[in-house]
Amino acid sequence: MIDEPRIHDYGDGANVHKKVSLEFGDMGEGFKEADLIREDILFYEGNTHLPMEQHAAVAHFDADHKLTLWSATQTPHYVHRALAKTLELPASHIRVIATPNGGGFGGKSDPFNHEIIVSKLSMMTGRPVKVTLTREEVFYCHRGRHPVLMKIRTGVKKDGAITAMDFQSFLDGGAYGSYGVASTFYTGALQTVTYNVPRYKFRGLRAFTNKPPCGPKRGHGTPQPRFALEVHLDKIAEELKLDPAEMRLKHLVQPFSVTANYLRIGSMGLGKCIEKVVEGSEWKKKFSNWDRENRKLPEGKGVGLACSSYICGAGLPIYWNNMPHSGVQLRLDRQGGVCVQCGSTDIGQGSDSILAYIVAEILGIDPFDIRVITADTDLTPVDLGSYSSRVTLMTGNAAIQAAERARELLTMAVAEKLSVPIENLSFADRRVFDVENPETGVTFAEAVVLAESKFGTIGTVGSYTPPRSPGRYKGAGVGPSPAYSYSAAVAEVDVDASTGIVTVERIWIGHDIGQSINPALVMGQVEGSVYMGLGEALMEEMTYRANRNVVHKFPSLLEYKSPTTLEMCDVVTYLIEDRDPNGPFGAKEVGQGPLLPVMPAIANAVYDAVGVRIDEVPITPEKVLTALRDKAKGREARFGPKRVPDVEWPQPLKVLTPAEGGDGKEMPRVAVHS
């Protein structure tokens, strides 16, 4: 092997940041059982978060040599750690406050240069220092969606049952690591959690290139493989002449099961999501059924379906430790006020209010009675941050624990005062009362006074640590989650054959939220996801000028094309509530999952409309028109990549699947003599 210079001192060598090779089960046997083996190559172009507000940070190093940083960050705890390390200050002398941040979508998750710069400058000058990025600089900070080239090979039975799946992904990482190792694993982790995949192989590679670094954007590493998988399944359904909705419904992963790659599935409402969108969209009356001659919709109009799943919080933190992922502190005061403190960061998704709803529910008071203090490393216990759709589930569980502990103290004090048995006391309508005799009771504020008189100042804590994953192999850390959300979408499109312009007319989307704690917030996330999905599907791309030192082609809001309200389609949302035992009140995530089915549903709908496969996003008019012309000339009616690079993959790490009697650990490596 040639000794190539390394780009960074971390990574797997030369320009390779990470190389992964995992194999679950006997692939040979899996493909042998198949009636059909199909292989597809697809590409997902990179795009960026495009938050409304640019990043900004202010630091102040004060007279007693303590540093405070106010920053538009999604992860104050990780920024806190990064500052302690780079500034060589004791962490206890640093305070990080996450401010309202004008949109994050993953783009404000890395500790950034400007956060360190303002801190250092303030230490040097003793004055407050502020940096606000220009829009152009936000494009360069990026950490957005990785461009990913993918090859997927799947064996299926005649009824669409998957016998084996082999997935390869090639990630263009840009200049730095960011969370790129996790991104790489995520391009291979969640293929198994929607439909039953008995044997699975994944190889992934992330390369460094001369571009702004890629990182986590909504869906982190999973929209790309999900796009590939769902388009690939559509093609399989066509080859098998099966209805793509029915084919999927038939082979759903079982609830409360463990997948071939050792992800533990909890509640699983995907079937209901599919049924809802099929019914709502009148799929049966619209879908061509692969028969172009006897179409139900006019030529140029089409429908497409796709599904997805997403984690409700990463099972592991980004640095190894045994502590909780989320902590909540409650303080009850004599006036009946309740203060919830938690390190979580509200980035517009409404996570602050979730804390209030949950505590109010348990203490029987109104959410408006609650004061919420979050995202301040001095005032609030650690929460790892707003990423991986972890916040409602993890802070919610921690809040439940803290509130239940407070309720217990109040119950004891009130029971004593009223001389009623503890189990008779209930909390509702700002009262604590005897359920058998509701007039007998005290106000919530009186209950707090009684408890404080009995026990002293009332404060409780709660924390949450995700359950341990059954996977024990190296690489098992990415993918496990306390629960998985599910989504299904049908897109209806209009394709203008003379221009190639695709208009998405309507999207029906079903999302299994477990339990919606505030349906308005849930719907907001679903509709916002559809909006973001339209952009990724149709126009957004991070592109560079090869002829001019790879400069970003158009780092501006005007020329980086993202949909306006005029491009937004109608959205019909169905919330499926299949409670998950691990979620607070059964709740699962909604911040990222509903984005995932949008892109493949649109791609599949374009095929239904005009009979050309666009195997890469964005699906631009240029690509559609090129494919239509090729089709007219009798060439392959497809636009997309044709090959993947030849890579010397490391020998795969082999793991027996649960069905094969595996224990989640990798098999001992056998030396290959050849």
Residues that bind another protein (CB under 8 A): 132, 134, 136, 498-500, 539, 545, 547-549, 551-556, 558-559, 561, 563-567, 620-622, 625
Q: In the complex with another protein, which residue's Cβ is closer, 159 or 505?
A: 505
Q: How far is the CB of 563 from another protein (least distance, A)?
A: 7
Q: In the complex with another protein, which residue's Cβ is closer, 157 or 561?
A: 561
Q: How far is the CB of 495 from another protein (least distance, A)?
A: 14
Residues 6 or more apart in contact with residue 378 via CB below 8 angstroms: 95, 97
Q: How far is the CB of 227 from another protein (least distance, A)?
A: 21
Instruction: Report the C-alpha gap between 469 and 674 in whole angstroms.
Output: 37
Q: How far is the CB of 556 from another protein (least distance, A)?
A: 8
Q: How far is the CB of 623 from another protein (least distance, A)?
A: 9
Secondary structure letter of residue 264 according to DSSP: B
Contact by Cβ (8 Å): 259, 233: no
Instruction: Report the C-alpha gap between 246 and 234 in whole angstroms.
Output: 11
Q: How far is the CB of 120 from another protein (least distance, A)?
A: 22
Q: How far is the CB of 267 from another protein (least distance, A)?
A: 39
Buried b (16+ CB within 10 A) or exposed e, 146-183: bbbbbbbbbbbeeebbbbbbbbbbbbbbbbbbbbbbbb
Tokens of 91: 């962490």
Secondary structure letter of residue 252 according to DSSP: B
Q: How far is the CB of 629 from another protein (least distance, A)?
A: 9
Q: How far is the CB of 565 from another protein (least distance, A)?
A: 8
Cis peptide before 466 (omega within 30 of 0): no
Q: In the complex with another protein, which residue's Cβ is closer, 530 or 655?
A: 530
- Please name which of 19, 39, 141, 128 lies closest in space to residue 652, comparing C-alpha atoms: 19
The pairing of strands 613-614 and 570-576 is unpaired
Task: Describe the crossing of helices 519-538 and 598-610 by its angle, rounded to 10 degrees.
Answer: 50
Secondary structure letter of residue 381 according to DSSP: -
Q: How far is the CB of 548 from another protein (least distance, A)?
A: 4
* Terminal-residue alpha carbon distance, the chain: 19
Q: In the complex with another protein, which residue's Cβ is closer, 335 or 547?
A: 547
Instruction: Report the C-alpha gap between 186 and 107 in whole angstroms.
Output: 17
Q: In the complex with another protein, which residue's Cβ is closer, 125 or 499?
A: 499
Tokens 């538009």 map to which residue?
72
The pairing of strands 570-576 and 502-512 is parallel
Strand order in the sheet with 484-495: 301-311, 484-495, 502-512, 570-576
- The total number of residues shown for the chain amounts to 674
Residues facing residue 69 across a β-bridge: 59, 96
Q: How far is the CB of 566 from another protein (least distance, A)?
A: 3
Q: In the complex with another protein, which residue's Cβ is closer, 499 or 651?
A: 499
Contact by Cβ (8 Å): 409, 451: yes
The backbone torsions φ and ψ at residue 475, rounded to the nearest 5 degrees and listed phi first, read 110, -5
Q: In the complex with another protein, which residue's Cβ is closer, 52 or 63?
A: 52
Q: In the complex with another protein, which residue's Cβ is closer, 393 or 502?
A: 502
Which amino acid appears at position 14 of this protein? A
Q: In the complex with another protein, which residue's Cβ is closer, 622 or 663?
A: 622
Distances (CA, A) of 568 to 251, 407, 534: 33, 46, 8
Q: How far is the CB of 26 from another protein (least distance, A)?
A: 46
Q: In the complex with another protein, which residue's Cβ is closer, 437 or 556?
A: 556
Q: In the complex with another protein, which residue's Cβ is closer, 622 or 636?
A: 622
Q: In the complex with another protein, which residue's Cβ is closer, 439 or 559?
A: 559
Instruction: Report the C-alpha gap between 610 and 288 in whole angstroms.
Output: 11
CA 601 to chain centre: 18
